[in-house]
Amino acid sequence: MTITNPIPNTATPVFRSATGPVIALTGALAGTLAVAAALQPTIAREALVPTAVCLLFLFAAAAAMIAWLRPMSRRQFTYWDTAGALTFIGICVTASVEPEQMVQLVAGTNPPR
């Protein structure tokens, strides 16, 4: 009787450390927070959250480019996961922006006091 499905090699594959994507995620979040804190005194209050969200999306795009250029094993936290987490956080923060704030920001009108 012939064996049509031989037993595969049982050696455990060696994976590279996945510290790069974790450092990228932590750095992107810390960088966004630092830029938002630095811009807080100089930028309008209504524009601060959209600016921070744009930074999150830019960091997510950068992580996606790194993921495309440097593929990793899917069994660990990858740059694709970092890009997805940053995009998800950006979408959740965007949902907290009031539509009236965006209209005032785009139209350039001052809020009523």
Alpha carbons within 13 A on the beta-carbon side of 6: 4
Going by C-beta distance under 8 Å and a sequence separation of 6 or more, which residues neighbour residue 50? 94, 97, 102, 105
Average pLDDT over residues 47-51: 89
Q: Which is more confident, 111 or 82?
A: 82
The token pair at 47 is 């524009």
Confidence of residue 108 (pLDDT cuts 50, 70, 90): confident
Read off the pLDDT of residues 51-73 as tens digits, 9 standing for 90 and up. 999 999 999 999 999 999 988 88
Confidence of residue 76 (pLDDT cuts 50, 70, 90): confident
